[in-house]
Structure 1
Amino acid sequence: MIKKENLFSHSVCICLSILLIYLLGFEQKLDRIFLTYFSLIFLGRFTFFRIFFAIWFVIAALYLPVGFYYGPPNVAVVSAITETDIDEMTEFCSQLPSYFYFVPLILILFFIILFKKFSFPKINNRYLIIFVLGLCCYKPIKTIIRHHPNTFSSITYSFLKNIKYPILEFSLAFYESTNIYLTEKQQQLKQIEQTNSIPIVSVNPKHKTYIIIIGESVRKDYMSAYGFKYDNTPFARNHASVIWDGLITPAPNTQSSIPHLISQSIFSEDKKVNAQLNNNIVSIANDAGFETYWLSNQGKLGAIEITVPRIAAYAKHSFYTKKGEYNGKSSRGKHDTLLLPELDNILSTEDSKPKLIVMHLIGSHSNFCKRLEFKVQFDLNNKNISCYVSSIKETDDLIAQTINILKKHNQDYSVVYFADHGLAHADQYNDLRHNPNYQDSYRVPFIFFDSDKSSQQKINKQISGFQLVYLLSNWIGVKLDVKHDYMQNELSEIPEQQNIKVKDWDNNKLYQFNKLKNDPNPFN
């Protein structure tokens, strides 16, 4: 039992525990609070640990502005530390609320005085000690039993990784993120040393500027251009030169799908597939003499943003709205329209070379309502779906603005828009999520806009997203030394494909698309 005279000191320790977790950017969870609290009451009375805790609380106070925007240590934090220059640091500081300048200083002073003067409660109850040790070890041991790590180092790592003690979590997260950052930087540097190896037969672009707009998480049956009853794609529906109904993406998630959509796919006995990343549309355009650009509203580096930035590294010029995770607190307010001023700058520069510009959108990524720059434009009596339909409208508006910028600069252009993957319904049609088991997770829009086309063509043919890089190469006027249906002179001449296969995000194995389940749109 806690004595009345110690009640205040115990309350202080609980408050310190909650504060530490907040300052380091973690979520408030009972196991984190309890473990921090028990560490303070068991160890705080010893001089060594008093100094240890004081140092960590000072670090936490200094980390407050970063933790508030970025959360606990991740690749965004590491990349910001290693890559941010003076101008970017000044910009970051200028955006901070004024209290972020003096609150950390007040906290540091408070912590120094507290850990110097405060009398921590003394606890010697052996049963309480056993309880705390059990609390610490329960989840790590459970994880080890479930996943069966078979080496001492893997067992140790798994044990430490699952202890929800914020100081340990912070240290491990920073160590892991630093490793990811350094590894990915090295991989990107090695990757761009490997150039395109597909022989180019001829280069004859029909247009001066080509733009590839890669949308995010859009299934075509939620677009009015493909018959959806809510008119959320009026620009595409009325102004597209080609609306292709039938593109099947290679995979149901971004990092597995995009590499195969814009890079060459290497098949192994029709059972497995791997992406040959150096043979991508950007490296092909480089070899063909194009000026290449990559504009992205998704993360440059992150725990899962790995493969796509390796392809983007081939571009001669790149622009990212955010350096780290695509979805951290730092991404708040960073909508796809931030890419448009950069596009305007690119097109305002005179260049005799043809241009290939890739625009990678955050589009309709999950947490649909957070993706919206403006108010919800459609009411489907379902908040998530209403936001999803509205997010597609905002992408349609962005395409319209892209075309307007091209026209403003009197560009001879061709623009293609497709999404990386679709989604499937969840929670009794109250939400849409990644799911490899449904065909609609792979059915996406495929739409062209050309400056020299006055009439609209509709093509209803099912084709695979694998080797789409051949079609895109032919579209920009680059003939490759390959034999494939996508090398036809006209899009309409490409035959429909049979027995299309797809992969999921767990491995490179191929599965028959037509054997997957259907997921009809109940709002249509």
Structure 2
Amino acid sequence: MSLILKESVTFRSHTINPWTGFYFLQSMVINSALGYEFSVLYAVVFTCALLVLWRHAPRAQKIFIGITSLVAACYFPFGQAYGAPNFNTLLALHSTNMEESTEILTIFPWYHYAIGVFIFALGIVSLRRRVTTPSTPWLKWDTMGVIFCVGSYFIGPVQNHFHGFEFRLYDTGVPVLRFVRDVAVNNYEVVKEQENMAQLSRMKDTWNVLAVKPKYHTYVVVIGESVRRDAMGAFGGHWNNTPFASQVNGNLFMDYISASGSTQKSLGLTLNRVVNGEPQYQDNFVTLANRAGFQTWWFSNQGQIGEYDTAIASIAKRADEVQFLKNGDFEANKNARDEDLLKMTAQVFSTARKQPQLIVLHLMGSHPQACDRTGGKYNEFVQSKETSCYLYSITQTDDLLGKLYSQLVNTGDSFSMVYFSDHGLAFKERGKEVQYLAHDDHFQQNFQVPFMVLSSDDKTHRVIKARRSANDFLSFFSQWTGISTEQIKNSYRFISEQKASPAYITNFKLQKVDYNHLGTDIFETRSRR
């Protein structure tokens, strides 16, 4: 009886200790900083773990707190914008150059960094707690705490099992452990895909071309960056920021859906032949054009880290002539403008060529931070400076398309030009003065992008309302260029109002999702200061 009373008094004195409340606060902020939904249960689990560690392994507890606090403090701004680690965030980490990393760091609002500092400060306070007793007897409350923590670990795997998924021990919902799991598993998947990409990129393509009947002499593919369709006046946006696209004769698709929500994954699924969900990097639209006897050119304002470091670089290197305005290293020219690509196209057009031509331009477009693209300029203030710059960056792209179109007209050759964006963006810190746009995969607007085809023989400005998916881009390319191949089956006429199959997208967890099941992220049209 005296032992029970002694343990009860010890437990009571332990629970009213202010450090218990402090650890609970610390647990809440660390769990939330890692990008997962807040859970009181897992905050209590973390608190129990810290209490038990403090009583029996205080130095180990300090090391644990130090590491988790540092990681949580650094990850907090990313977690608020992009959520928990997934395939896309790890892919971006592998593919991003120094310039792009700097831009990402400057787009987050200042108070996210302040909260990160606060999280780190809590960690410092914990580390400064003095160890007053060298050893503490093991109590039944310690045993109960361990059982509670272990039992909570299995909640995630058991829930998955009852929902029809495989029971896997590493599928825990405990945020700190889940973060480690997500980083490790997704990093492994990224490395595996990059190794596969590198291997396939060096292989000879397997295209079996059946016929080549190009209608035009010059074909141009302009790949935009991070453009939401609802931000373009020509595609129903509120602002008159696309004077060229709004009046030019051609076909504008009002319901084109990108394949995924980030550049590398989206274009990897769009521009390559896909088998069982896996891009076949050797069989892409450039190698198909090469096989059909086209002369191919690739001009890019995106960074090139290495010959095969990214899915896009691996495709670009298959062209006959390749030029990058940026090399993607520390000396990359941050001020290189998309318009500089027109100097390269002008050189191509200055010489008459007998072969059919395929020219690809890959823009920086409206990539965050948009104010870096516009030099801080904008026409109309909408909610925040970054949002305003974003709208103006689209005007810059529209102007480039107009000038490129004029270059094509001046050649005197027949031509056709397609423009589309790789993916859209979602609003972060909505309604605030620091509102900005970033990658996301939860909303339809993350995949609603412009797609238009402008040809030298177009007589009208035509709007096509039928839904089209980027997963069918190779089918479009085959029909557009007149290249028939055994590997591409055309089930409908792309440039038409014919109904196509339901559209699906690939999210950041590499899951195929019905586009219709996504939420909405409406572009607010209010202009205010």
Q: TM-score, normalised by structure 1?
A: 0.61
Counterpart amino acid of residue 505 in structure 1: F
- Quick check: 1:366–1:433 contact (8 Å CA) kept in 2? yes
Query: What corresponds to 1:386 in structure 2?
Result: 388
The counterpart of 2:398, out of the listed 393, 396, 399, is 396
CA distance in 2, matches of 1:504, 1:242: 28
Unaligned runs of 5+ in 2: 1-94, 99-126, 129-174
Kindly indicate whether residue 299 of structure 2 is the aligned counterpart of residue 299 of structure 1.
no
- Pick closer, same or farther for the CA change 1:374–1:452 going to 2, 3 Å: farther
Q: How does 1:106-505 map to 2 (within 5 A)?
A: 190-267=199-276, 273-301=277-305, 306-324=310-328, 330-372=332-374, 375-429=377-431, 430-482=435-487, 484-485=489-490, 488=493, 491-492=495-496, 495-505=498-508
CA distance in 2, matches of 1:331, 1:195: 33
- Pick closer, same or farther for the CA change 1:214–1:483 going to 2, 3 Å: closer
CA distance in 1, matches of 2:211, 2:308: 37
Summarize deviations over 1:463-507 as a string: whole Å, max 9, x none: 22113112112211112225644663x6116x3234321112333
CA distance in 2, matches of 1:290, 1:304: 23
Summarize deviations over 1:123-161 as a string: whole Å, max 9, x none: xxxxxxx98xxxxxxxxxxx9977558xxxx9xxx9xxx
CA distance in 2, matches of 1:355, 1:277: 21
- Pick closer, same or farther for the CA change 1:212–1:278 going to 2, 3 Å: same
Unaligned runs of 5+ in 1: 1-73, 78-129, 132-142, 159-179, 268-272
SS at match of 1:236: helix
- Pick closer, same or farther for the CA change 1:304–1:284 going to 2, 3 Å: closer
Counterpart amino acid of residue 252 in structure 2: I
Q: What is the root-mean-square deviation of aligned Cα atoms in Å?
A: 3.3
SS at match of 1:283: helix
SS at match of 1:212: strand
- Pick closer, same or farther for the CA change 1:264–1:145 going to 2, 3 Å: closer
- Pick closer, same or farther for the CA change 1:497–1:148 going to 2, 3 Å: same
- Quick check: 1:191–1:310 contact (8 Å CA) kept in 2? no
CA distance in 2, matches of 1:373, 1:339: 18
Counterpart amino acid of residue 420 in structure 1: D
**1:287 Cα deviation after fit:** 0.2
CA distance in 1, matches of 2:447, 2:236: 18
CA distance in 1, matches of 2:180, 2:225: 36
Q: TM-score, normalised by structure 2?
A: 0.61
Query: What corresponds to 1:65 in structure 2?
Result: none
- Quick check: 1:215–1:362 contact (8 Å CA) kept in 2? yes
**1:417 Cα deviation after fit:** 0.2
- Quick check: 2:504–2:514 contact (8 Å CA) kept in 1? yes
Kindly indicate whether residue 509 of structure 2 is the aligned counterpart of residue 506 of structure 1.
yes
- Stretch moving more, 417-426 or 373-382: 373-382
SS at match of 1:397: helix
- Quick check: 1:333–1:373 contact (8 Å CA) kept in 2? no
**1:333 Cα deviation after fit:** 1.2
SS at match of 2:448: coil
Count of residue correspondences: 352
SS at match of 1:491: coil
- Pick closer, same or farther for the CA change 1:247–1:379 going to 2, 3 Å: same
CA distance in 2, matches of 1:480, 1:311: 19
Counterpart amino acid of residue 422 in structure 1: G
Counterpart amino acid of residue 502 in structure 2: N
- Stretch moving more, 284-293 or 368-377: 368-377
**1:378 Cα deviation after fit:** 2.5
Summarize deviations over 1:262-301 as a string: whole Å, max 9, x none: 111223xxxxx11111111100000000000111000111
- Pick closer, same or farther for the CA change 1:203–1:375 going to 2, 3 Å: same
- Pick closer, same or farther for the CA change 1:145–1:316 going to 2, 3 Å: same
- Pick closer, same or farther for the CA change 1:240–1:196 going to 2, 3 Å: farther
CA distance in 1, matches of 2:450, 2:178: 41
Query: What corresponds to 1:515 in structure 2?
Result: 517
SS at match of 1:261: helix
SS at match of 2:332: helix
CA distance in 2, matches of 1:293, 1:209: 11
- Pick closer, same or farther for the CA change 1:148–1:385 going to 2, 3 Å: closer
- Stretch moving more, 249-258 or 346-355: 346-355
Percent identity over the alignment?
29
CA distance in 2, matches of 1:425, 1:287: 42
- Pick closer, same or farther for the CA change 1:301–1:451 going to 2, 3 Å: same
**1:191 Cα deviation after fit:** 4.0
Summarize deviations over 1:330-380 as a string: whole Å, max 9, x none: 332111011110111111122210110110000000111001158312322
- Quick check: 2:220–2:417 contact (8 Å CA) kept in 1? yes
SS at match of 1:359: strand
- Quick check: 2:420–2:451 contact (8 Å CA) kept in 1? yes
Counterpart amino acid of residue 320 in structure 2: K
